[in-house]
Structure 1
Amino acid sequence: MTVETTEIKPLSIDDIRASIESGTSRATAIAESYFEQIQSRDPQIHSYLSVNRERAFERAARIDDLAAKGEPLPVLAGVPVGIKDVLTIEGLQATAGSRILEGYRAPYTATSVQKLEAAGAITLGKLNCDEFAMGSSNENSAYGAVHNPHALDRVPGGSSGGSAAAVAGGMAVATLGTDTGGSIRQPASFCGVVGILPTYGRVSRYGLIAFASSLDRVGPFTANVKDAATVLGVIAGHDPMDATSSPLPVPDYTADLDKGVSGLRLGVPAEYFAEGLDAEVRAAIERSIDQLRAAGAIIKPISLPHTRYAVPTYYLIATAEASANLARFDGVRYGFRAKDANTLSAMYRKSRDLGFGAEVKRRIMLGTYALSAGYYDAYYKKAQQVRRLLTDDFLKAFAEVDAILTPTAPTPAFKLGEKSDDPLSMYLADIYTVTASLAGICGLSVPCGQSAEGLPIGLQVLGKHFDEAMILRVAQAVERLN
């Protein structure tokens, strides 16, 4: 096993903003230092699919002009960020990690990216990911796997592996990823960073290349909890371009971070500590729970009885929605088109066969089968009914507790290639994350320790719908106690 020996601690949002305000640094100089870091480290990690220096320096120069004039700086002034390549930026590539979108340049910018840049963030480039966000290891990208910065022979998690690895490797202060069944939280755990799954509807999905529309969510990765709260506050809120976005007002997520956990009721579900949980992960999670108890939290055993049905339920609903969403990639309107096809039907078949990778084709076929005549009620409809039961489990639990504590993943980061030939084993890597995805609640992963080999371990904190402030408060306590 090859473990990186150089520990890289990215600057915080507060550090960057203060240095620009005081004149001790300039946004253009900070951007240049991060591009140098990308050039130095990313050939081994492969988190970026593309960088855009010209666009970044143009925006950084605007921040420097504001600072030179003594004008107030926006909240993310000069903060270098990276964007998962399933989110669009006008004029830039948007591959979704797939060959079928090779050469496609987006005609519009995702709302979440617009909000970041309006707040002063400097977008460095687009980040690698599993194809169409389908994967748990970032080995499904058509453009090559991402490597974990902590151990180059290990996966960074998926599907937002590039987003997690860029923060962990000091190649961005914050990044955006997406989470359909764990694709923010699991990579955050594997890479030792903070990753947030906002409540469904809290952050606009406009400009997100869809995988499963009732599950997909956009959220941030950062190196610490306060930065995560700050970025979430910037990207959250109603968007008229997204009919599913919530009109609920966005609170100041940093306001209650330092309140501690004394008196909070924190639930620990027995179902998340059963067979299959790695011993070192269990020990790290239980140590964090003990620390929270010592800090005044009330730890309460709870049950989420339908948890065992979560993985099959997720892989029916998500694949069915993927089958419908990916029907638009036909070789006609944009992206890759196969050559040497003599008929329209042949062009469709050949373009999709050559353009999609094996995992995407597997999920399209599973989803098409689940939606087909004669099987819809037995599979897709039944899965939606079980989804309701899973949601009810959480609603009952949150009547008794303020937040729920679980492992984020059953193991630390596994080796590249270890599970790539065993789809079922790969799907089970999502066993602790798909429940929150199906229920629409919020969650996050915060680092809580390391394995004996130096691999990060993440604690998952789950909260009620639109109660991101609570899970961030608990995560801040975990961060300070570790």
Structure 2
Amino acid sequence: GRSNCDQFGMGSSNENSVYGPVRNALDPERVPGGSSGGGAVSVQTDTCLLALGSDTGGSVRQPAAFCGIWGFKPTYGRISRHGLIAYGSSFDQIGMMGHNPADMAALLRVMEGPDEFDSTAALTQPPADTIPHPASIACFSETIGHRGLEAGIRDVTLGFMERLRAAGHTVDEVPFDPGGGDLLDYVIPAYYVLSTAEASSNLARYDGIRYGYRSPHARNLEETYLFSRTEGFSEEVKRRILLGTFVLSSGYYDAYYNKAQQVRAILRRRMLEVFNSYDLILMPASPTAPWRFGEKSDDPVAMYLSDIYTVLANLAGIPALAIPAGNHPENGLPVGVQLMAAPGMDENLLAFGGGL
């Protein structure tokens, strides 16, 4: 069946849906996460066994964490994007949510593989390597010590790290920026410059002529374009289209878009470097617990910052698994962590998660 989500997958709270918000079943006054909040709550309430969602910057893993279930984003290109409405084409990947990794691994086997309609879909077999047991796991010290991370989330994450150590795994805190800089603070700006630029291009097709909503109030061609896009897009979608058009415009392309591409290359290189020494990377799934409806609606930047830990996997194109790690010590709501693996290690990551 179909489930509710933020319009065009743009949002972290499911408040941007034309069908109204989805409510977290554990606390109806709080958001379920986004953009795939409907799918997360469907699994959370046992309405379905598994749910699909597009994961452009964490839209599967963050709602999974908020709802106390598992969420998985495959390696970029592992699953065909044919049929998916494009948001950010170099980030989009179809992810899944469920109650355990075994179910998601079975679904992955059905969905993966090449597709003549998507040239980015994988054409080669994944690596035969396995994740050893015990595993070596890196946790970036900046993610644990970040000023935006709630103390309760930090405590649960540290507790999860201790449980991994007790199970025999090696868990080391390593710097994300070996030079001692603030590389983590460039993650959100780079992601939102690039993803909105791609969105402004992808959503240009929704003009009331070929695709999407057509305004009944238009009296001529110009008004068809103007009214259809003004009435058909939510405020958040319009905000991102405008931002993306701005960074691609003459005079700002080099200052913003090209710089963001350079930052993305640096971030991806750093993530892949870590896998030369470690099997997995661990970090929180969200810096905060689920917030109350309306709490961040007037502050888009605060909403964007909720993606600081999830967008790294999309920037690098690597698989990431959101894991229920415990409950927030202050409000009792679910807290999730993420494990990320090297590109192509999807089944191995799910198998490792299933053994925890």
TM-score of the superposed pair, with normalisation by structure 2: 0.95
Measured after TM superposition, the shift of residue 301 of structure 1 is 2.0
- Which residue of 2 is the match for residue 286 of structure 1? 158
- Which residue of 1 is the match for residue 143 of structure 2? 272
Query: Secondary structure at 1:335's aligned position in 2?
Result: coil
Summarize deviations over 1:170-229 as a string: whole Å, max 9, x none: 110001111001101100100011110101000110000000100000011101121122
Summarize deviations over 1:148-186 as a string: whole Å, max 9, x none: 111111101000111111000111000111100110110
- Which residue of 2 is the match for residue 325 of structure 1? 202
- Which residue of 1 is the match for residue 98 of structure 2? 222
Measured after TM superposition, the shift of residue 250 of structure 1 is 5.7
How far apart are the structure 1 equivalents of 2:241 and 2:156?
37
How far apart are the structure 2 equivalents of 1:287 and 1:245?
38
* One of 14, 18, 25 as aligned partner of 1:138: 14
- Which residue of 2 is the match for residue 111 of structure 1? none
Query: Secondary structure at 1:448's aligned position in 2?
Result: strand
How far apart are the structure 2 equivalents of 1:155 and 1:173?
21
- Which residue of 1 is the match for residue 54 of structure 2? 178
How far apart are the structure 2 equivalents of 1:263 and 1:252?
18
1:69-80 to structure 2, matched below 5 A, reads none
Is the aligned partner of 1:195 residue 2:71?
Answer: yes
* One of 448, 452, 462 as aligned partner of 2:340: 462
- Which residue of 1 is the match for residue 110 of structure 2? 234
- The amino acid across from 1:406 in the alignment is M
How far apart are the structure 2 equivalents of 1:263 and 1:341?
64
1:269-418 to structure 2, matched below 5 A, reads 269-273=140-144, 274-305=146-177, 306-418=183-295
Over the matched positions of the two proteins, sequence identity in percent amounts to 48
- The amino acid across from 1:457 in the alignment is V
- The amino acid across from 1:469 in the alignment is E
How far apart are the structure 1 equivalents of 2:288 and 2:128?
34
Is the aligned partner of 1:207 residue 2:111?
Answer: no
Summarize deviations over 1:23-77 as a string: whole Å, max 9, x none: xxxxxxxxxxxxxxxxxxxxxxxxxxxxxxxxxxxxxxxxxxxxxxxxxxxxxxx
- Which has more radius of gyration? 1
* One of 1, 24, 40 as aligned partner of 1:148: 24
Measured after TM superposition, the shift of residue 314 of structure 1 is 0.4
Measured after TM superposition, the shift of residue 252 of structure 1 is 10
Query: Secondary structure at 2:71's aligned position in 1?
Result: strand
Measured after TM superposition, the shift of residue 343 of structure 1 is 2.4
- The amino acid across from 2:290 in the alignment is A
- Which residue of 2 is the match for residue 60 of structure 1? none
How far apart are the structure 2 equivalents of 1:435 and 1:250?
21
- The amino acid across from 2:52 in the alignment is L
Query: Secondary structure at 1:127's aligned position in 2?
Result: coil
Moved over 4 A (4+): 250-253
Is the aligned partner of 1:474 residue 2:349?
Answer: no
Measured after TM superposition, the shift of residue 469 of structure 1 is 2.8
- The amino acid across from 1:239 in the alignment is D
Q: Aligned residues, how many?
A: 349
How far apart are the structure 2 equivalents of 1:142 and 1:340?
19
Unaligned runs of 5+ in 2: 178-182
Give yes or no for contact 2:127–2:344 (8 Å, CA) kept in 1: no
TM-score of the superposed pair, with normalisation by structure 1: 0.70
Measured after TM superposition, the shift of residue 307 of structure 1 is 2.1
Give yes or no for contact 1:185–1:408 (8 Å, CA) kept in 2: yes
- Which residue of 1 is the match for residue 180 of structure 2? none
How far apart are the structure 1 equivalents of 2:290 and 2:314?
21
- Which residue of 1 is the match for residue 299 of structure 2? 422
How far apart are the structure 1 equivalents of 2:348 and 2:156?
22
**How large is the RMSD of aligned CA atoms in angstroms?**
1.6
Give yes or no for contact 1:233–1:252 (8 Å, CA) kept in 2: no
- The amino acid across from 1:351 in the alignment is S
How far apart are the structure 1 equivalents of 2:266 and 2:133?
31
- Which residue of 2 is the match for residue 244 of structure 1? 120
Give yes or no for contact 1:233–1:250 (8 Å, CA) kept in 2: no
- The amino acid across from 1:284 in the alignment is V
Query: Secondary structure at 2:337's aligned position in 1?
Result: strand
How far apart are the structure 2 equivalents of 1:334 and 1:240?
23
